[in-house]
Structure 1
C-alpha cells in the first residue's frame, strides 16, 4: 500500500473514530441533559412540597397563636371580673359595717329617748 493510501486510510480511521466519539459524546450530553431535567423536576416538586408544608405549618402556628391569644384574653377578662367582684364585696362589707354602726347609733338614741321619756314621766 502506498503511503498516500495508508495516510488516507489512517485519516479515514481517525474520522470514523471522531464520528464515533462525537456520537457517544452527543448521546452522553443528551443523557446528562435528560438527567438534569429530571432532577430539576424532582427538585422543583420537592420545593413546591416544602413550600406547601411551610404554608400549612404557618397556618397551624398562626391558629395556635390566635387560640392562645384568645385564651389569654378570656383569662384576663375573668381576672378583671374577679377583681371587680372582690372590690364589690369589699364595698358591701364596708357598707354593712356602716349600716351596723348607724343601727347601733339609732338603738342608742332610741334608748336615750326612752330613758328621757321615763325620766320626764317620773318628774311629772
Structure 2
C-alpha cells in the first residue's frame, strides 16, 4: 500500500495533469472560435459581394425594361 507521501505526490501529479488538460482544452476552444469567426467573416464578405452583383444586375435589368417600354410607347 502506498505511503501518505506517495499518495499526496500522486494526487498532486493528477491535479497538475488536470490543469494541463484544462489549459489545452481552453486553447483549442479559443482556436476553434477564432476559426469560426474567420469563416463567418469570409461568408459575410462573399454574401456582400453577391448582393452587390445582384443589385447591379437588377439595375441593368430595370434600365433595359425602361428602354424597352420607351420603345414600345414612343412619346406622342
TM-score band w.r.t. shorter chain: 0.7 to 0.9
1:54-98 per-position Cα deviation (integer Å, ceiling 9, x unaligned): 110110110111111111113xx6xxxxxxxxxxxxxxxxxxxxx
Superposed CA RMSD in Å reads: 1.7
**After TM superposition, what 4+ stretches of structure 1 lie above 6 angstroms from structure 2?**
none
More helix by percentage: 1
- What is aligned with 1:56? 56
Structure 1 unmatched runs, 5+: 78-124
Distance across 2 between alignment mates of 1:57 and 1:11: 68
Size of the alignment, in residue pairs?
Answer: 75
Q: Which one has a bigger Cα radius of gyration? A: 1
Structure 1 residue 28 displacement after superposition: 0.4
- Structure 2 length as normaliser, TM-score? 0.85
